[in-house]
Homo-oligomer: A and B are copies of this chain.
Amino acid sequence: MTRVYGMSASGNCHKVRMVLEALALPYDWTETDTTKGDTRTPSFLALNPNGQVPAVQLDDGTVLAESNAIIFYLAEGSDLIPAQRLERARMLQWMFFEQYSHEPYIAVARALRKFHRDPKSQRAVIESKMAGGYRALDVMEDRLAKSAFFAGDAFSIADVALYAYTHVADEGGFELERFPAVQAWLARVKAQPRHVDMR
Q: Residues on A close to B: CB < 8 A?
A: 49-50, 58, 62, 64-70, 72-73, 76, 85-86, 88-90, 92-93, 95-97, 99-101, 103-104, 138-139, 142-143
B99 touches A72 (CB 8 A): no
Contact (Cβ within 8 A) A72 B50: no
Whether B89 contacts A69 by the Cβ 8 Å rule is yes
**Chain B nearest CB: distance from A153 CB in Å?**
15
A134 nearest CB across to chain B (Å) = 13
**Bound form: Cα–Cα A190–B100 in Å:** 27
Q: How far is the CA of A101 from the CA of B49 in the complex (A)?
A: 12
Given contacts A72-B89, A89-B69, A92-B68, contact A101 B62 (CB under 8 A): no
A-B contact pairs, 18 of them (CB 8 A): A49-B138, A49-B143, A64-B86, A64-B90, A66-B92, A66-B93, A68-B96, A69-B92, A69-B95, A70-B93, A72-B88, A73-B85, A73-B92, A76-B88, A76-B89, A96-B99, A99-B100, A100-B103
Q: Are A73 and B99 in contact (CB under 8 A)?
A: no
Cβ–Cβ < 8 Å partners of A89 in chain B: 64, 69-70, 72-73, 76
Bound complex: CA A106 to CA B64 (Å): 24
B90–A50 contact, CB under 8 A?
no
Closest to A100 in B: B99
Given that A73-B86, A76-B85, A86-B73 are known contacts, is A64 also in contact with B93, CB under 8 Å in the complex?
yes
- B72, B86, B90, B93: the one contacting A92 at CB < 8 Å is B72
Name A138's closest neighbour in chain B (CB-CB). B49
